[in-house]
Structure 1
Amino acid sequence: MKESKVSVLVGDGVVTVKREGSNRALQANILGTVEADGVQVLCLDRLVHASHEQQFGEWTLAGAVTTLLSRPLKLEAVALQ
């Protein structure tokens, strides 16, 4: 299966997902953020991924009703805590 290029932009309370070759962008509100064990998880208010998609760049995808985006925290950010 061809892997599509997707950009994820995290803003103030929202996430925007833009697929290469598409004019449309999906936007979802961030319901909450969890940071634990060196991982950041963003809980969105809707699905922004298809069932066959597992990764958007550095973001790992999960969820059947809403999307959960997770990625490792940057080493500098972990060291500051």
Structure 2
Amino acid sequence: MKEAKVSVLVGEGVVTVKREGSNRALQANILGTVEADGVEVLCLDRLVHASHEQQFGEWTLAGAVTTMLSRAIEVSPA
């Protein structure tokens, strides 16, 4: 299956997902954020991905009822 280009914009309390070639954007509220073991996880209030999608750029996707986005946290040198 061809991977679609998707942009994920994280704002203040919301995430916007825009697929290339579509003029429609999906917006979801962030219910919570967890940072542990070098990974950031955003828990959303709705599904913003299809069951066959596993990745949006740097974000890994999970969830059957709501989407959970996760990515590695960039550590800045001290």
Taking structure 1 as the reference length, the TM-score comes to 0.89
Structure 2 unaligned segments of length 5 or more: list them: none
Per-residue CA deviation, residues 1-46 of structure 1 (Å, 9 max, x unaligned), is 1100000000000000000000100000000000000000000000
Instruction: Report % sequence identity.
Output: 91
Per-residue CA deviation, residues 25-69 of structure 1 (Å, 9 max, x unaligned), is 000000000000000000000000000000000000000000000
Q: Which has more helix, going by share of residues?
A: 1
CA distance in 2, matches of 1:21, 1:67: 22
Deviation at 1:80?
7.9
Matched residue pairs, number? 75
CA distance in 1, matches of 2:29, 2:77: 27
Show structure 1 runs of 4+ deviating over 6 A: none
CA distance in 2, matches of 1:20, 1:26: 12
